[in-house]
Structure 1
Amino acid sequence: MKEILVIAVLVFIVILQFYIYRRSIKRKESVYNVLKETDREKIKSINNGLDEYGFYFEDSSDIIASKMYCWQRKMGYCKLYDELAPSLNMVIDCEPIYFNYNKRRWLIEFWKGQYGMTTGGEVGIYVTDKKDIDIPGFFTGPFYECVTDEERLDMKFTLIKEKGEIFNRQEHHWWLTGFDVGGFSEPSNLSMEIALEFPNSQMKKEFINGLKTAGYKDDDYKSINNSVYIKFDTPKSDQGDKHYKILLPYIQLMNKNFCNLYNYLTRDFNRTIDKIYFLYTYYPTLFKILSRDKELKQIEKVYKTIQSYLNEGGIDNE
């Protein structure tokens, strides 16, 4: 009996060693296959994978960013989206700045924090000329449309963690974003230095009024010509995560584990482009998590509910 047990243990060890060896060989082959591809081929494949989620790989900044004409642009914006963020593994600070200009209500909002397995920041521009909607038991408040091409602004921001810059973005856009893959952060450890250039002094003035209404003091921003420079660190607005407050540490633990898993699986690569391509090719499930597939489905569901209400004439257009 003892001899049989010893033989069984030896067989198990041999099988385990063979399995580890095969996995090692397969991994080396996978790494080689990634490295032999050209960067152009990698970017094309990555962006094909990201396209349906509204993002692309910004190789000059080594980050993922939002496309100009993405599905999110059709979804508009309402506060409910922010309130749902924790359920989508997004633990973020939100700073909505409301103001009136040219007989319409405008919203320019800032975001920073942890988006699943990425650390990121956003600046978005929205507008409405309609009254608030009221969908009993679902949502009450203004629903904004994303601005048109003609209403986009020159925007830029630098995302900073403690005292170190993570990345910076600059573009003529309606939704300027950037996401550092595999980076983990608490929103309180992040800050954004934001610059917005307005088309005229009147719009700039109204935006500054919105800043002041939100709680910003004269020392919190700087105005030069038609540009405004703001530092966004501790949000001054009420955050929409009160229903998830007790769950936030667990959501962040999940996010941190995803970041650790991503960094472990891609440990053989030094460049982000290689890491993401490796994930896209050999770990498609994790790539979908990176792409925020869950967010797409949930926001679409919310938007369809609101849109069906709008189509039924539940909003006053006068």
Structure 2
Amino acid sequence: MKPVNRIVMKEDGNLKACDPADNVYWESGTQGCPDSKLVLQDDGNLVILDNSGQIRWITHTEQGWDFNVVDLFNFDIKELFYNLNVWEKILNLISLAGFLWDDKQNIFYSKVDPWQANFGYLNLYDEASPLAGMFIHCEPIRFKAGGKSWKIEFWKGRYGIFIGAEIGVYTGEFEIDTGIEVIDRSINNLDSDKDTRCACGEDEMLQMSFELYDNNDLLFSRNSDDPDTDMIEKHWWLTGFKFPTPDTVSVSYNDLIMNIEIAFMDQEMTDGFINGLERLGYSRNTDFFVYGNTVRVTFKRPRSTAHQPFLQP
């Protein structure tokens, strides 16, 4: 496959992206309008005008860059990057950022041992996320088990142009009667002497999975098993972020539903997590279900009011 190196306006009014051998990788579908013109307007829109001046095709990029720029490409965006001969470079950048690529679902996801494993998760990340173009829901579940304080947090929403979801597991060694705010500071203390390679210790990682839906439509699923070998594994930060397509650019984070399943280490940990859910107002056999030491939770809207993003669209 050769890289796309030019776009051509055909005499029939169709705009095409071609490689050096004239193979067509994308077209505007505006054939049948001879004498059409490709015009970059002052408002930032690239348009195709027919001979009467009517718009036959538009990028919807008025007032600067917008998610609808993806409408320019009505095929797999990964294929676009591949055709432009930059896909391998993008994969290398994703790996350096601590992520891997799932070719079957067109998502990237976090490694078990990325560089982020050396840091905790500050509440400020949630609260200030809109400043980075992220509009998300987050739900921190706090509980105690095994003489430790735990925080398992869920996230879902729009991460810039991507749709994504996450589960993070954080723990520390605290006094049992420690207050919530002190627990947060301890969990997020980047100068902790605790020798761990991830936000929770390697022996504290959990077997987890989730499915992310846009209302009733499944967007993608993730579990802690190795996607290449299907070996049962555990994780501390289970994530998935889907590349934009014309079907996902208009998805609202308010319409995202996350079905989560977590297998806990013992009954004490299971009971602690359940208590954390119930303190937030989750109802057993309605919002979550328990099967031995496995808990399944449906996350639609956050019940916690703390640490939600301070700006909403």
Q: What TM-score bracket applies, with the shorter chain setting the length? A: 0.5 to 0.7
CA displacement at 1:234 relative to structure 2: 1.4
Aligned position for 1:179: 241
Contact 1:195 1:228 in 2 (8 A): yes
TM-score, normalised by the number of residues in structure 1: 0.61
Q: As a proportion of its length, which structure holds more helix?
A: 1
- C-alpha change, 1:164 and 1:190, in structure 2 (3 Å) is same
- C-alpha change, 1:72 and 1:133, in structure 2 (3 Å) is farther
Q: Report the identity percentage.
A: 33
Map 1:259-270 to 2 at 5 A: none
CA displacement at 1:242 relative to structure 2: 5.7
CA displacement at 1:103 relative to structure 2: 1.4
- For 1:42 and 1:95, locate their aligned partners in 2 and report how far apart those are by CA, in whole Å: 36
Map 1:138-287 to 2 at 5 A: 141-144=185-188, 146-171=199-224, 172-182=234-244, 183-184=248-249, 185-218=251-284, 219-238=286-305, 240-241=307-308, 243-244=310-311, 248-249=312-313
CA displacement at 1:141 relative to structure 2: 3.9
- For 1:241 and 1:223, locate their aligned partners in 2 and report how far apart those are by CA, in whole Å: 27
Aligned position for 1:106: 150
Output the aligned Cα RMSD.
Answer: 3.5
CA displacement at 1:49 relative to structure 2: 1.7
- For 2:307 and 2:273, locate their aligned partners in 1 and report how far apart those are by CA, in whole Å: 22
- For 1:204 and 1:110, locate their aligned partners in 2 and report how far apart those are by CA, in whole Å: 17
Q: Which runs of 5+ in 2 are unaligned?
A: 1-5, 26-77, 189-197, 225-233
CA displacement at 1:45 relative to structure 2: 4.0
CA displacement at 1:78 relative to structure 2: 2.4
- For 1:181 and 1:21, locate their aligned partners in 2 and report how far apart those are by CA, in whole Å: 27
CA displacement at 1:142 relative to structure 2: 4.2
Map 1:127-142 to 2 at 5 A: 127-130=171-174, 141-142=185-186
Q: Which has the higher contact order (CA 8 A, sep 6+)?
A: 1
Map 1:46-57 to 2 at 5 A: 46-57=90-101
Superposed CA deviations along residues 234-258 of structure 1, whole A, max 9, x for unmatched, are 11111534642xxx33xxxxxxxxx
- C-alpha change, 1:38 and 1:81, in structure 2 (3 Å) is closer
- For 1:43 and 1:148, locate their aligned partners in 2 and report how far apart those are by CA, in whole Å: 34
TM-score, normalised by the number of residues in structure 2: 0.62
Aligned position for 2:128: 84
Number of equivalenced pairs: 223
Superposed CA deviations along residues 141-174 of structure 1, whole A, max 9, x for unmatched, are 4434711221111100000101110011111211
With 103-112 and 49-58 compared, the bigger mean Cα shift is at 49-58
Correspondent of 2:113 among 58, 62, 69:
69
Superposed CA deviations along residues 65-107 of structure 1, whole A, max 9, x for unmatched, are 1111112211211212211211111100000000011111100
Residue type of the partner of 1:89?
Answer: G
- For 1:213 and 1:32, locate their aligned partners in 2 and report how far apart those are by CA, in whole Å: 58
- C-alpha change, 1:89 and 1:216, in structure 2 (3 Å) is same
Q: Which runs of 5+ in 1 are unaligned?
A: 1-18, 250-318
- C-alpha change, 1:38 and 1:127, in structure 2 (3 Å) is same
CA displacement at 1:61 relative to structure 2: 2.5
- For 1:108 and 1:225, locate their aligned partners in 2 and report how far apart those are by CA, in whole Å: 19
- C-alpha change, 1:204 and 1:241, in structure 2 (3 Å) is closer
CA displacement at 1:32 relative to structure 2: 7.9
Residue type of the partner of 1:229?
Answer: R
